[in-house]
Structure 1
Amino acid sequence: MTIVTLNGTVIAQSDDTKVVEGNHYFPPSSVKTGLFTDSDTSSVCPWKGTASYYNATVNGNFIKDVAWYYPSASEKAKDIEGYIAFYKNKVAII
C-alpha cells in the first residue's frame, strides 16, 4: 500500500500505483479529489504529453500545484492517463 499524506491528512492510498520515472501515479478513485481544485498550471513532457495540475486545501492550508496528471496522455503513456502523481517536496509518500 502506497499512502500520500498532506498536513497529516491521508489524501491518497492504493495498492495499484504505477511508477514512472520514480513517481507513483495513483488511480483517480484512490485519491480524495474533493480536496483539490484545478490549477492553471500546465507543463509538457516530451514523451507523456501535456500535464494538468491540482492545488489542494487541507486543514486550512492551501498548497499550489501539489499534484499533476495527464488528461490526454501520449500513446507511450496511455497506462497513466488520468492517474495522479504528487510532488515529493509537498507531501509525504509512504
Structure 2
Amino acid sequence: MPKAIWNGEVIAEANDDEVQIVENNVYFPIGKVAEEYLQESEHTTTCPWKGKANYYHLLVDGKVNENAAWFYRHPSDKAQHIKDHVAFWHGVEVQR
C-alpha cells in the first residue's frame, strides 16, 4: 500500500490500484491525502506534456515543507489520468 510520510506523519495512503505512477512519481488521489496538512502555494511550474503544476506546502507539527506536493488542476488531455491526484518530493518519503 503506497504511503507518503513527512515529519513522522502519514500524509497520503492508498491502495495500489488507486495511485498513478508517472515518470517514477506516485500520484495519490486527493481523497486519500490528509488535507489538514496541505496549504496551497502560489508556486507553479509547467511540464511540456502534463501542463501547469500547482503546489502545496506541507504543515506538520509546526514545521513547513515548502512546495513539497504538486498537482495539475487542469492537466493536458494526455495527463487526464492524474487529475485530482497529488505527488510529493522535497524529503517526503514515498513508500511503494
Give ranges in structure 1 of 5+ residues lacking alignment. Answer: none
How far has the Cα of 1:46 moved from its partner? 0.5
Q: Residue 92 of structure 1 corresponds to which residue in structure 2?
A: 93
Count of paired positions: 93
Q: What does 1:11-90 align with in structure 2 at a 5 Å threshold?
A: 11-15=11-15, 16-87=18-89, 89-90=90-91
* Aligned residues: CA RMSD: 0.8
**TM-score computed with the length of structure 1 as normaliser:** 0.95
Identity %: 37
Q: Residue 9 of structure 2 corresponds to which residue in structure 1?
A: 9
How far has the Cα of 1:14 moved from its partner? 0.5
**TM-score computed with the length of structure 2 as normaliser:** 0.93
Give ranges in structure 2 of 5+ residues lacking alignment. Answer: none
How far has the Cα of 1:90 moved from its partner? 1.6
How far has the Cα of 1:47 moved from its partner? 0.4
